[in-house]
């Protein structure tokens, strides 16, 4: 990310993305904490007679696990850790920025696919419910377009920073 001088205040967009990333981090912590409950119930009900066997816990764990993965992927894009791999030899600073920008354009393509296909996926599940817990299936399917949109939000500022660095206009 571009260096910000102490006298320059971040733009409204950067403050929004920063707050959104912090919110997603808390959602991730909360989803992992909640995920422990149905998984623990599954384990205890299989190996002890103390707790009755709950079938809905498997479905709830699957829903939470998918959302946990998607939120983690959103944060990974924000922090440029999820899709970035160093495979080229030592490049100049501008060369590294160009390589990073090309990688981000690939993530941008994936984000657009997630949005388009995710919307179709969510429409397909709109009036359906899960078999065991009877939860609306769109609650799980909407994770894909939300992830794609979030990637676009985070990639927007990253691509802008890269373009500024390539053309020598670091903020």
How do the pLDDT tens digits run along the chain, 171 residues long? 455 555 678 889 899 999 999 999 999 999 999 999 988 888 888 777 766 666 778 888 889 999 999 999 999 999 988 655 667 678 888 888 888 888 889 999 999 999 999 999 999 999 998 887 788 889 999 999 999 999 999 999 888 888 888 888 654
Q: How far apart are CA 163 and CA 111, in angstroms?
A: 19
Q: Give, in order, the Cα–Cα distances in Å from 97 to each of 75, 82, 94, 103.
A: 21, 17, 5, 10
Please enumerate in sequence order all residues whose Cβ is within 8 A of that of 17, keeping only pairs 6 or more positions apart, or say none: 78, 153, 154, 157
CA 154 to chain centre: 10
Q: How far apart are CA 45 and CA 62, in angstroms?
A: 17
Q: How far apart are CA 159 and CA 147, in angstroms?
A: 18
Q: How many CB atoms lie within 10 A of CB 104?
A: 22
Predicted local distance difference test score (pLDDT) of residue 16: 93
Three-state DSSP at 120 gives helix
């Amino acid at each position: 990310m571009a260096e910000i001088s102490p006298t320059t205040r971040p733009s409204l967009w950067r403050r929004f993305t920063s707050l959104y990333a912090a919110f997603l981090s808390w959602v991730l912590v909360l989803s992992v904490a909640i995920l422990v409950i149905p998984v623990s119930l599954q384990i205890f009900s299989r190996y002890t007679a103390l707790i009755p066997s709950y079938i809905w816990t498997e479905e709830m764990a699957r829903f939470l696990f998918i959302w946990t993965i998607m939120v983690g992927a959103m944060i990974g894009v924000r922090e440029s850790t999820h899709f970035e791999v160093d495979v080229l030899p030592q490049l100049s600073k501008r060369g590294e920025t160009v390589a990073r920008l090309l990688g981000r354009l690939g993530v941008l393509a994936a984000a657009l696919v997630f949005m388009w296909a995710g919307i179709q996926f969510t429409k397909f599940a709109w009036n359906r419910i899960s078999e065991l817990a009877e939860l609306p299936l769109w609650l799980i399917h909407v994770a894909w377009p939300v992830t794609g949109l979030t990637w676009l939000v985070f990639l927007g500022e990253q691509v802008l920073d890269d373009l500024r660095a390539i053309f020598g206009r670091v903020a």
